[in-house]
């Protein structure tokens, strides 16, 4: 069975920058607090919708793969901030990129969505159901932020990252993955009143709520443990990992996870200073930047790990 491979990648970061200093004017915070507690310096704010960011990243990935959009069989958008509940952001992307033959669906596993999508795309190709998939992580999180709440509003940003996965007839690709969830902890990171339980009304929007320190502890445990389990499933050791690409939620979470895994900074991808936490978009954006920076050589072993609302977690050895 040919291994599905990533044959193209792309990203879209909206140009408007919201810096820590800008946030000082919006909420009771300081550049020093945000920098030392999170490692973030700025994030992007989008004036277009999630599907527009997703389509721009998707077009770049298609160009990198040298693939016509009509060649796609499936578009998956991992997002928890779609333009609308119906139609899916993926259906809008299908139309925007001209993927006329492709099926389209959204996947919501919050910040773990891209790795969940990678597993779904990989397994559908391996099953022979589809041959070419455009997988995008895209978010417009600033829409769901309450800028009077300093505990959440400084953390998140907007953006999109995309990959094309194709049946490639070679070895490699996704070697092992793990997807996990603990719905009993749903309330520690959520956007209440953003669905059938109701909406806050015309004066207010639904807002992200988070018990930061609890999420922090669980993120370090879950990302580290699931990264170890996927390596074990793949029959590989930590010494063989070329690059660890974690979800970009907090520099201290990434450093603590890397310490648990015994990985030094040269083997860990970090770009959150520029973009903040972009949820499902963070890993594909980091992957695209690692590729652009020449940090991923042919045959490299990548380990991806994520954690987010649900609670969900996921890891992949690629």
List, by residue number, the catalytic residues. 111, 247, 277
Tell me whether residue 125 or residue 245 sits nearer to ligand UT7 (CB atom): 245
Burial track 108-145 (b if 16+ CB lie within 10 A, e otherwise): bbbbbbbbbbbbbbbebbeeeebbbbbbbbbbbbbbbb
Coil, strand, or helix at residue 101? coil
Name the DSSP letter for residue 124.
H
Distance in Å, CB of 110 to ligand UT7, minimum: 7
Q: Considering the complex, what minimum distance in angstroms separates the CB of residue 78 from ligand UT7? A: 13
Q: Considering beta carbons, is residue 4 or 308 the nearer one to ligand UT7?
A: 308
Which one, 88 or 257, has the nearer CB to ligand UT7? 257
Q: How far is CA 56 from CA 9, 11, 32, 288, in A?
A: 11, 7, 34, 14
Please report how close the Cβ of residue 247 comes to ligand UT7 at its closest, in angstroms: 6
Inter-residue contact 309 to 110 (CB < 8 Å): yes
65's CB contacts (< 8 A; 6+ apart) are: 7, 8, 164, 166
Q: Which residues bind ligand UT7 (CB under 6 A)?
A: 29, 33-34, 37-38, 111, 150-151, 154, 189, 212-213, 215-216, 219, 249-250, 253, 277, 307-308
Q: Which is nearer to ligand UT7, 7 or 278 (CB)?
A: 278
Cα–Cα dist 64/86, whole Å? 30
Distance, in Å, from the CA atom of 89 to the CA atom of 84, rounded to the nearest integer, reads 7
Which of 233, 234, 38 minimizes the C-alpha distance to 153?
38
Min dist CB 68 to ligand UT7, Å, is 35
């Amino acid at each position: 069975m040919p291994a599905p491979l990533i044959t193209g990648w792309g990203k879209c970061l909206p140009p408007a920058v919201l810096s820590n200093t800008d946030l000082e004017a919006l909420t009771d915070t300081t550049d020093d607090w945000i920098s030392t507690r999170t490692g973030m310096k700025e994030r992007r704010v989008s004036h277009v919708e999630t599907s527009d960011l997703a389509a721009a990243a998707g077009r770049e990935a298609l160009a990198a793969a040298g693939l016509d959009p009509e060649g796609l069989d499936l578009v998956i958008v991992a997002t928890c901030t779609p333009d609308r509940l119906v139609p899916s952001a993926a259906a809008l992307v299908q139309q925007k990129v001209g993927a006329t033959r492709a099926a389209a669906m959204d996947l919501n596993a919050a910040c773990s969505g891209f790795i969940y999508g990678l597993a779904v795309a990989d397994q559908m190709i391996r099953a022979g159901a589809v041959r070419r998939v455009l997988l995008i992580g895209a978010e417009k999180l600033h829409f769901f932020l309450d800028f009077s709440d300093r505990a959440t509003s400084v953390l998140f940003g907007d953006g999109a990252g995309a990959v094309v996965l194709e049946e490639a007839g070679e070895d490699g690709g996704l070697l092992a993955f793990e997807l996990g969830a603990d719905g009993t902890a749903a309330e520690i990171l959520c956007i209440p009143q953003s669905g059938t339980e109701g909406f806050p009304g015309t004066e207010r929007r639904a807002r992200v709520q988070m018990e930061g320190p609890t999420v922090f502890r669980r993120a370090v445990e879950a990302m580290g443990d699931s990264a170890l389990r996927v390596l074990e499933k793949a029959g590989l050791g930590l010494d063989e990992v070329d690059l660890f690409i974690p979800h970009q939620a907090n520099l201290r979470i990434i450093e603590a996870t890397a310490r648990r895994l015994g990985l030094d900074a040269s083997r860990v991808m970090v770009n959150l200073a520029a973009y903040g936490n972009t949820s499902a978009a963070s890993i594909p954006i980091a992957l695209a930047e690692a590729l652009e920076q020449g940090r991923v050589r042919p045959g490299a072993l990548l380990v991806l790990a994520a954690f987010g609302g649900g609670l969900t977690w996921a890891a992949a050895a690629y």
